[in-house]
Structure 1
Amino acid sequence: MNLWQLVTVGVFVHIILFYSIFDIYFTSPLVHGMTPVTVSKQPPASRLILFVADGLRADKFFEPDENRRSRVPYLRRIIEEEGVWGVSHTRVPTESRPGHVALIAGFYEDVSAVAKGWKENPVDFDSVFNQSRHTWSWGSPDILPMFSKGASGDHVITNCYPAELEDFASSDMTRLDTWVFDQVKDFFAAASSNQTLYSVLQQDKIVMFLHLLGIDTHGHSNKPHSKEYLNNIQVVDKGIKDIVSIVNDFYKDKRTVFLLTADHGMTDWGSHGAGHPQETLTPFVAWGPGVRKPVVQEHCGNFADTFCTDWHLDFLRRSDMEQADIAPLMSYLTGIPLPVNSVGVLPIDVLNASDSQKAEALLTNAQQLLAQFHVKMTQIKERTLSITFRPFLELEEENEVKALIHIKNLIGIGRPQDAILECHKLIQQALQGLRYYQTYDRLFLGMSIVMGFLGWMSYILHLVLAEHTSLGHQAFAVFKAGMGSSQNSPKPVEAVSLLSCGGSTVSYGVLVAICSTTVLLLYVQSLPLMYYVYCLLPALLWFKSFQGWNVLWSAIKSLLYNNGCPWSLMLSCLCCLAGLEIVVQSFYRRELLSLGLFAMSAWPLVSYVGTSKRWQSFTTSSLTKWGWSMSCLLVSVFPLLPVVGRNAQYGLVFASGSLVFIVGIIILYRVKVSTILSKCILATQLFLVITSVAVVAVTSWSISQKLGLPFLCQLTSWVTLGVSIILPLLTGTCLEERLLSLGLSFFSTFLLMSITYEGFFLLSLLILLYFWMRMEMEMSISPGQEGPHNFSEVDLSQSVSTVIKDHNQANRLMQMSDLRRSIFYVFFIIVAFFGTGNIASINSFDPSSVYCFLTIFNPFVMGALMMLKNLLPFLVVTCALRAVHICTQTPLRALFLLVLVMSDFMGLHFFFLVRDHGSWLEIGTTISHYVIVMAMITFLLLLTGVSHALTCWKITLPSSFVLHKQKRLTNC
């Protein structure tokens, strides 16, 4: 298997390992076949109006302003005089789609549903809208259609504004909300003169949904602490006041109930998606028929937080709830049947009802959840072998029947309080049972994935030992001796292909038997297709690994029985493990990367004790040594800086771009290039760098003045992005020339997506990688050794065997220094991610970083650009590794395999840390860590091929377009 085949297989394996987390931890909770049930036989309200303020944080809504006055005077009066208030607790992922599904359908979509579509409804689920008689909705085209297309019938009517209104650079994004309010006002005005519409509106079980996106849009572009965000909250308060007045004047029957909440909150840096309390805590306010009046008491309730005091609401009872609980609440208030997939629990504390009514409503809620439990249990039981089925013991049929009879008896004899307690107990058992069967296969799948990880790592370790150590050559010598002398006998480096492919008939028979048995067991249980992949992958990987058992066994015997474990190997392994542990812990504390870089700055002092003569053979060796140490210390500053996105500082962007432009001119003057064309290209790239600075300056000013994104700036940004990919391929493949061209191309694109110190970080990282390459090259040079002695002698398009004339030297065995290069590469990759100001969370990316390219909301294009921003430093590091491979005559395959083992060690580490219980901050953090690490490994595999193309490929223009110097400027 050559390197590119290995890369392809590696990508395939890691995509499977990455995707597995969704089947293990985040499967869809949907089941079908239940009959809808109605909670209240005599509903207190005929209609409900739901206001969802997208992206509204609870603290920004409830807290007083700097003048100690409420930002929402109308709703504050409602809270104190008419209705109920509390905090709605959302779940991961805190995105608009799953948030609205939880609110309106009453269940929590699995995480993977976020990527299945925004405007479409990828799964068939029931909702309050679907169960209503009629629903009218106004708002965003990204949210409303998924509920109308999922409804049975045409009774869910949507009114969406054009997508172009969702412009982050707009001068006034409150227009998204005023548009909704104006449309509702026009709707009721039209109903007054339209008898048909008027008659329909007089019916019961009516729902009106107002989706208010302005706050979320302001939060993304201006941040939640901005005056624009806070002013938009006031606009919503006034708009709700107007709508309530219009509705009450239209109906005059006091049978309209109103609810205000949010789908998710927002972080201080203007993003959401993970489990930070700023994202999961949203406001809840309800008033109208069926909702209790405010209850004045000594304290708001038994809560661990200090919100009541902070918000000056400690004298009113507070009613918190889970986000999915709002769906059964809306059903109860309007008499609409509960959504059949709802897992919400009716929050009886907010109801204006007798204890008997509350108990009966909770009993119906319990029966609705038990119906889901039965369907889920039946599905699992039917596809599981009878001898292996493990039922949920707490809800066996006999126990369930007894519990239901007991609750009904308690209600009948006038003990509703006891009935309520028993209902809550039964509801919790039903929810636990649903969770039990939803996670029924978790242990089985988790073991398969762990065995897949270990099998892949074992196979990679086998390749390392067989191909790049003396153990593989010794095994091959034995193999060759058995073959006898032959002119066509393979070379030592080809040993692994023969050793690994020679499985016996018995071993293949065992593999076939295991795979056949696995497929048969999965088939008779009707398990999903991906289960076959998860189970067969470990079998294939361990089979390939066991084919090289002789090499692995030789390695173990060599360490245990020969000379013991060499101290140098032990020390190197300990340092490697310490480095990997720092990398893992840096996902929790970015500052640890600074500690690692500080330790790495002392590398020359440690490496050259007693061998300083090696430094005396080059006039620039001392400069290299001190340059390495100082550049490590320089880069170590960035993980200590605040996270990018909290405050845009475009002055730093201008300064970093200008500095690169000046430094680039100096380097261009001193570096020798192969042709005039290359020099012209490098000059063009320098021009693009300063152009990017100008584009960022104009764009930031225009957006700050509410003038929008200038078309010329947008066009220039996209052209720069496209040209930056092509220009490096037109330059020569001499190391200095090509890497300078790549650095300038990366920098011009990177600047367009920078909002603070990222440009300085990339420049510092480039300097550190330069000195890394110099350190590695100078350390690898031995007296009389053939090969490159400085960068001007290195041609990246040539292989190691071409650079080195001795073929045996080109195919050298792996050395301890290769372990160091691999751990340095992994460490630099992590530094490249965290150094740009990211945190280990899927919500750490600021959409304002792509405003030079687009400002109108487009989650997929924006996401792709933000991903590109994070991949560019990865690509810089990978290109540097390619250069180190050439300069040090290191087998690229050996480096690649070592990096894979280290990366997968991290991936397995984070796999064990993934959890779906505890606080939503902890859950979101562990999910983010695993997703980031596995995506990083997958991208590293792909970037290996991309870096090869960027460093080795060259586009040759027709001779008529190429101007040559009369003499070569260099003998590169």
Structure 2
Amino acid sequence: MALTATSPSSSSSSSSSSSRNVLLLIGVIFHLIYILSIFDIYFKSPLVHGMTPHRVELSPPADRLFLFVADGLRADKLYQLYEEGGQFVTKAPFLRDIVLHHGTWGVSHTRVPTESRPGHVAIIAGFYEDVSAVTTGPYWMGKWVAFGWTMNPVTFDSVFNQSEHTWSFGSPDILPMFQHGASDPSRVETFMYGAHEEDFSSGKDATALDTFVFDHVDALFRNASHNPNLAARLRRPGVIFFLHLLGLDTNGHIFRPHSREYVENIAYIDKGIREVVNLVEKFYNNDGRTSYVFTADHGMNNRGAHGDGHPDNTRTPLIAWGAGIRKPNNTHPTGHDDFSGDWGLGEVQRNDVKQADIAPLMASLVGLNYPLNSVGELPLVYLENIPLFKAQASFVNAKGILAQYQVKYDSKQRTELFFQPFAPLSNATHSPSILVSRVQSLIDTARYDEAEELCLALIDLSLRGLRYLQTYDWLFLRGIVSAGYVGWMLYSLNHVVGTYVLVGEAAAEGFDYRVWLVLCDLFECFPPLIPQNISPITLYQPNKFHHPFSLQINLLAATTLSTLFTMLYVQEMPPMYYVYCTFPVFFWSEVLKRGGALLVVVKTGLARNWLGSVGLVVGVVAGLELLVELESFSSSTSGFQLFSPRSSLRVLCSRCDVATVYTRAGSLARRCLTDSVGSLLSLHQRVHVTTCREGRGHPTGVGILRIAWVGHGRSICCGDDLGLAGGALILATGGWTLWNSERFFILHRSVKDKTVTNMQEVANARSVITFQLVMVATSVVLVYDTTRSLREKTGLPVVNQIVSWIVLVVSSSIPFIYGLRSNHHFLQRLTVIFLAFAPTMILLSLSYETLFYYFFCASILLWMLIERTLYAVEGPHPNASPRALRPRDARTALIFLFFINVAFFGTGNIASVSGFQLESVYRLTTAFNPFFMGGLIVAKVLVPFLAVSAVLGVLARALDLPPFALFLVVLSVTDVQTLNFFYLVRDDGSWLEIGTSISHFCISEGFLVLSILLFLVSHLLVGRAAVTRVGEGIEASEVEELVDRKGKEEIVEGTLDTREGSRRRKGKATSS
């Protein structure tokens, strides 16, 4: 018995469309909500409140403290000697004299992320800022991020907040967050220059930023000479002066740390500090009650960048001198290693600290309360005081950190149903009260060294306990989220199978008979699953099939949900946790009630070819896992391949047969083989490219590729040359296309139209492409001239900036204006789209990005043509209506997902904008605005995304697939990646690493929304393009013969005899 294939009725089509829309709506809501789950799990702020402040009750050694922070200063650049005139001299003679004769010094080891904001928070507040501080705020999107970046939305305590008064001088990026974070904002006074002064144009002298600081400090003390009120405030005990010196960071970004500008800026800062110290000592009559601390928030690598955990970024200088600071230790100069071996400081002891240790040091010097959220350990080696003072200071340090643990412990114990305390601090010998009493006893008996050691142990246990309590709920929350993702995948797969697999064409291909047998087996083997009054064919419509135990399943779901809600209420969980628990219960109940389609496919696959079916599933999962690895190690998912434009376009313009499949597959394999070069060459690595000629003088792209690997930023060839080379390739290919425009655009017209083409259309296309090539050439010239101007330190020319913006806007708008509603041939349409976004890539290219764009577009074009050819080779497809999905379509879906990943990560790490260099936007702007600059970088990254969306729109139509079929297949399985990225999210490490893990998850999580946008964009760009079937085009020789024999005039007017064309093709096929 066999089932008869029937055409779906209009009502069933409407029902299918409605159910698809419901699925997409549920999917959008689910993914938008679950994207927040990582912030509720991994990035809840560790800060707690309600602690009692602690301070050393003994008299402090200093009344005031000066904190100098040289933004972006590397330790080795300050301490090392420089060769000048045959001698080795220091660029910081004043600070070096302090190191050798007056103070204590060392290396401050910062924790990643090595950025200005977390560095200053660690120095001044004593804790390492968590990511939730950046992802928390009262605003959304741009304003929300901007608020988090410039001012800390998380309330935290700081040394400034505990001071009597703080005068701060410097950057508007740093100073406001400590003023707004103070309990009394008037306590922190700021003197800031305008944000527009932070200009990365090479024509600006960044030392002017430091000049502003020194001048305003000088003005403050000079004004006090005739302002008694100000003089009295300056003489109060417990005041702090903060000098933020940004010039080094700016010069380092522009010129690199090895440059003369960077080194001379060190000398300028040294001179400025000397003058400030002399001014201060004169004002206070050398009373010996002033402490000085000089350090840096982060270092800088040889590329002029920072953010990651490279030692050049994490090792910063620390020099302290003045009241309460120990003099140099010349007796036992320990602490040195190879890093400081050539500094010439071996005669004095080096004392390294952690960056957060500086905050308790400053608090102890001035006699302030330790910052309530500080986790730094007081570096006793820097203090010059009596043993009792140092023991008390260490004890106060330990009690402050223990208080944070105790507050968090009490909160968790009060709300958890089955609370398990932190064992090392919850036993008979190591409870907090016992340890505190023991330390106090040691101090009372003058056993100060033992007390200090026990305080260090207590600090370590408290920090470990804080981490334990911070991650206490991870297991429960991860389980809920994982169940939600697995339930969604089964729920959506059931819909896809029922809507796009078990319909129409599947029945026509003989699938019905096997399905019938399988359904009979289900009736016999699983009677509880399928009621006797339900026909087997009903399972073709899984959304209409109701399980006989639907009521019981609903009751079970309600009971489970009620139990979870009760647990969340008792434990005082946030409201979003209720939503997280709702989705897995809903999905799994629906799968249990309506999983008929999945059962049919599983049974059918096992009955027909169990080994192939298992292999398909394993292959899909393995492919998704491979993509996870490729995204984690993005060195394998992007890059470029070198090939001849002429030979490649010849492939594009030829008719396809079986042999062409292998030819094009080989071309694509060669391109993908070297695609990894692009990511292996990160933006700071340079590639030296030389050109050559091949064959009969046709351009070979960039010819021979010679990769000159760069060590620590010393490049052989400027990366701008790569952008120019990419622009040259685009011009060469576009020029070749323009030169052969008649052949290129006539070649693939369908003979069923009875007219070859209208030459006026060709003329219009030539005009548009010519204009686009002018835009590309203009962008190449702009890049060359602007780069030259910046290198000569004349700044960004205003004319170049204006023209660059005009080119960017005009070129990008062309595909949305020209041909949007015309049925141009798909290759013509794709050519216009690719050329339209080329100037964007060129203007924003810093290294290999333009080359990547060129070869990426070639790869996706070849992939599209291969898929078309394979589809044609499979057999005749007389019915042009959308067909059912087949197992082989999984290949297309996976390759599409691969190219989406390549598009995202090929030009850099879109997962973290901090992984890009700001130089890439210098042709458009040099004024420092991280969000505007970040927007331009994101725009550059989205260009390949738009290209692949256009190709996908053509491919879906070429394969006779329903519009949403491929999207939904990918949508149903891509959460395998999402689950991987969910467990790979990091809450420690550099912001580059943290941001990468977050963005990998968010990109995979937001794929449903992106896929819908992808469909809309592709439909907008290529929805009206003429997509011909393979074999319907005209041979090149026929077109050339036709043009020679009849002339272009006859083509404009006339027709091509379809019978003559058919006869010629049949004759050629017979001779083959």
Query: Considering only CA atoms, is the larger Rg found in Structure 1 or Structure 2?
Result: 2
Name the aligned partner's letter for residue 100 of structure 1.
Answer: H
**Number of the residue aligned with 2:727:** 657
**Number of the residue aligned with 1:506:** 552
How do 1:33-432 and structure 2 match up within 5 A?
33-39=50-56, 41-65=58-82, 68-114=88-134, 115=145, 116-153=147-184, 154-169=186-201, 170-251=203-284, 252-296=286-330, 300-301=334-335, 306-309=338-341, 311-385=343-417, 388-396=418-426, 399-432=431-464
Report SS of the residue matched to 2:150: coil
**Alpha-carbon distance between aligned partners in 2 of 1:769 and 1:955, rounded to the nearest angstrom:** 15
2:791 paired residue among 687, 695, 704: 704
Deviation at 1:206, TM superposition (A): 0.7
**Alpha-carbon distance between aligned partners in 1 of 2:960 and 2:122, rounded to the nearest angstrom:** 57
Q: Aligned in 2, Cα 1:432/1:750: closer, same or farther, shift over 3 Å?
A: same
Name the stretch that deviates more: 128-137 or 92-101. 92-101
**Number of the residue aligned with 1:524:** 570
**Alpha-carbon distance between aligned partners in 2 of 1:970 and 1:625, rounded to the nearest angstrom:** 35
**Alpha-carbon distance between aligned partners in 2 of 1:130 and 1:970, rounded to the nearest angstrom:** 85
Contact 1:44 1:255 in 2 (8 A): yes
**CA RMSD, 1 decimal:** 3.6
Q: Aligned in 2, Cα 1:825/1:309: closer, same or farther, shift over 3 Å?
A: farther
Report SS of the residue matched to 1:188: helix
Report SS of the residue matched to 2:69: strand
1:535 paired residue among 581, 598, 616: 581
Deviation at 1:594, TM superposition (A): 8.2
**Number of the residue aligned with 2:8:** none
Name the aligned partner's letter for residue 966 of structure 2.
Answer: L
**Number of the residue aligned with 2:139:** none
Deviations 1:782-810 (A, max 9, x none): 476247xxxxxxxxxxxxxxxx53x3xx2
Deviation at 1:720, TM superposition (A): 3.5
1:749 paired residue among 818, 840, 844: 840
Deviation at 1:180, TM superposition (A): 0.9
Contact 1:48 1:330 in 2 (8 A): yes
Deviation at 1:434, TM superposition (A): 2.2
Deviation at 1:621, TM superposition (A): 5.5
**Number of the residue aligned with 2:886:** 814
Q: Aligned in 2, Cα 1:926/1:847: closer, same or farther, shift over 3 Å?
A: closer
Name the aligned partner's letter for residue 651 of structure 1.
Answer: D
Deviation at 1:240, TM superposition (A): 1.6
1:624 paired residue among 664, 669, 679: 664
Name the stretch that deviates more: 2-11 or 190-199. 2-11
Deviation at 1:580, TM superposition (A): 4.1
Report SS of the residue matched to 2:225: helix
Q: Aligned in 2, Cα 1:400/1:52: closer, same or farther, shift over 3 Å?
A: same
**Number of the residue aligned with 2:1015:** 948
**Alpha-carbon distance between aligned partners in 2 of 1:256 and 1:830, rounded to the nearest angstrom:** 57
Deviation at 1:297, TM superposition (A): 5.5
Contact 1:518 1:536 in 2 (8 A): no
2:862 paired residue among 758, 771, 780: 771
Name the aligned partner's letter for residue 628 of structure 2.
Answer: V
Deviations 1:251-286 (A, max 9, x none): 121211111222223344333334333333322221
Contact 1:222 1:229 in 2 (8 A): yes
Deviation at 1:221, TM superposition (A): 2.9
Report SS of the residue matched to 1:254: coil
Report SS of the residue matched to 1:432: helix
2:1002 paired residue among 935, 939, 950: 935
How do 1:486-635 and structure 2 match up within 5 A?
495-499=541-545, 504-558=550-604, 562=607, 565-567=610-612, 569-573=613-617, 575-587=619-631, 589-593=633-637, 617=657, 624-635=664-675
Name the aligned partner's letter for residue 810 of structure 2.
Answer: V
**Alpha-carbon distance between aligned partners in 1 of 2:876 and 2:304, rounded to the nearest angstrom:** 56
Deviation at 1:330, TM superposition (A): 0.8
How do 1:722-801 and structure 2 match up within 5 A?
722-730=809-817, 731=819, 732=822, 734=824, 735-782=826-873, 785-786=876-877
Deviation at 1:72, TM superposition (A): 2.6
Contact 1:275 1:925 in 2 (8 A): no
**Alpha-carbon distance between aligned partners in 2 of 1:299 and 1:5, rounded to the nearest angstrom:** 73
Deviation at 1:915, TM superposition (A): 4.7
**Alpha-carbon distance between aligned partners in 1 of 2:900 and 2:490, rounded to the nearest angstrom:** 23
Q: Give the TM-score normalised by the residue count of structure 1.
A: 0.86
Q: Aligned in 2, Cα 1:457/1:490: closer, same or farther, shift over 3 Å?
A: closer
The number of residues matched between the two structures is 914
Deviations 1:139-158 (A, max 9, x none): 11121111112223312110
Q: Aligned in 2, Cα 1:739/1:430: closer, same or farther, shift over 3 Å?
A: same
**Number of the residue aligned with 2:902:** 831
Name the stretch that deviates more: 939-948 or 692-701. 939-948
User: Percent of aligned positions with the same letter in both sequences?
Assistant: 40
**Alpha-carbon distance between aligned partners in 1 of 2:620 and 2:331, rounded to the nearest angstrom:** 60
Deviation at 1:89, TM superposition (A): 2.6
Deviation at 1:120, TM superposition (A): 3.2
Deviation at 1:869, TM superposition (A): 1.8
Name the aligned partner's letter for residue 59 of structure 2.
Answer: Q
**Number of the residue aligned with 1:683:** 770
Name the aligned partner's letter for residue 172 of structure 2.
Answer: P
Report SS of the residue matched to 2:309: coil
**Alpha-carbon distance between aligned partners in 2 of 1:544 and 1:216, rounded to the nearest angstrom:** 57
Deviation at 1:888, TM superposition (A): 2.1
Q: Aligned in 2, Cα 1:424/1:842: closer, same or farther, shift over 3 Å?
A: farther
Deviations 1:597-650 (A, max 9, x none): 99xxxxxxxxxxxxxxx9984796665344334433453443443444656522
Deviation at 1:846, TM superposition (A): 0.7
**Number of the residue aligned with 1:871:** 942
Deviations 1:552-573 (A, max 9, x none): 344444555x356234x45555
Report SS of the residue matched to 1:118: helix
**Alpha-carbon distance between aligned partners in 2 of 1:239 and 1:565, rounded to the nearest angstrom:** 78
**Number of the residue aligned with 1:795:** none
Q: Aligned in 2, Cα 1:21/1:220: closer, same or farther, shift over 3 Å?
A: farther
Q: Aligned in 2, Cα 1:74/1:904: closer, same or farther, shift over 3 Å?
A: farther
Deviation at 1:497, TM superposition (A): 3.6
Q: Aligned in 2, Cα 1:6/1:320: closer, same or farther, shift over 3 Å?
A: farther
How do 1:3-42 and structure 2 match up within 5 A?
6=23, 9-39=26-56, 41-42=58-59
**Number of the residue aligned with 1:604:** none
**Is 2:977 the partner of 1:906?**
yes
**Alpha-carbon distance between aligned partners in 2 of 1:409 and 1:868, rounded to the nearest angstrom:** 64
**Alpha-carbon distance between aligned partners in 2 of 1:839 and 1:65, rounded to the nearest angstrom:** 39
Q: Give the TM-score normalised by the residue count of structure 2.
A: 0.78
**Is 2:894 the partner of 1:862?**
no
Contact 2:545 2:594 in 1 (8 A): yes
**Alpha-carbon distance between aligned partners in 2 of 1:158 and 1:4, rounded to the nearest angstrom:** 55
**Number of the residue aligned with 2:916:** 845
Contact 1:85 1:284 in 2 (8 A): yes
Could you tell me which runs of 5 or more consecutive residues in structure 1 were left unpaired when the two chains were aligned: 599-613, 788-803, 958-964
Could you tell me which runs of 5 or more consecutive residues in structure 2 were left unpaired when the two chains were aligned: 1-17, 135-144, 507-511, 521-529, 643-653, 686-712, 746-756, 1025-1049, 1057-1072
Report SS of the residue matched to 1:193: coil
Deviations 1:447-475 (A, max 9, x none): 22222332333334434443444599849
Q: Aligned in 2, Cα 1:679/1:506: closer, same or farther, shift over 3 Å?
A: farther
Deviations 1:396-425 (A, max 9, x none): 497222222221121122211111111111
Contact 2:812 2:836 in 1 (8 A): yes
Name the aligned partner's letter for residue 108 of structure 1.
Answer: Y
